[in-house]
Amino acid sequence: MIIKSAELADLNRCMLIDPSYMTEYVWQMYLERGEAGTTITFRTVKLPRPMAVKYPRDTDYLLENWQRGECFLVADEGGEIRGYLDMTVQAWHQTGWINNLVVAKEYRRQGIGTALMKAALRWA
């Protein structure tokens, strides 16, 4: 597998990857106010049954992100796109904002997301 800068032809294949996922847990926020101040705590809570989570973004704007000419990487294995990452760079803050990090379901938990993140760090 290679991590490379996305080409225009890669974008259609990126759009075909289903970014949704299943979870058995959610974050629950606890807010405690006292004389010393306010404390916010997040705890994981197990759901009574698995829940499907839809990806919070639409893939229609991937072309727009790619056209900016910043960091848009794909994980390619023999012409098959297994995942992608796009990042907006804020040079004046010396930061990068990860807009999307998506790995195809059948290839998750195999280090592809980590490889994309490491490549984005090197790119920055």
- Reduce the DSSP state of residue 81 to 3 states and report it: strand
Residue where the block lists tokens 């916010």: 40
Residue 37: both structure tokens together: 């101040």
Domains annotated for the chain, with CATH where assigned, are: 2-19+56-123 (3.40.630.30), 23-53 (no CATH)
Q: How far apart are CA 111 and CA 124, in angstroms?
A: 20
Q: How confident is the model over 42-89, as pLDDT tens digits?
A: 999 999 999 999 988 877 788 888 888 889 999 999 999 999 999 998
For 2-23, what is the mean pLDDT?
A: 94
| Residue 13 scores a pLDDT above 90 | yes
Q: Is the overall model pTM greater than 0.95, yes or no?
A: no
| Residue 93 scores a pLDDT above 80 | no
Alpha helices by DSSP H, listed for 16-111, are: 62-67
Q: How confident is the model over 101-111, as pLDDT tens digits?
A: 999 999 999 99
Instruction: Provide the 8-state DSSP code for 8.
Output: H
| Residue 91 scores a pLDDT above 80 | no
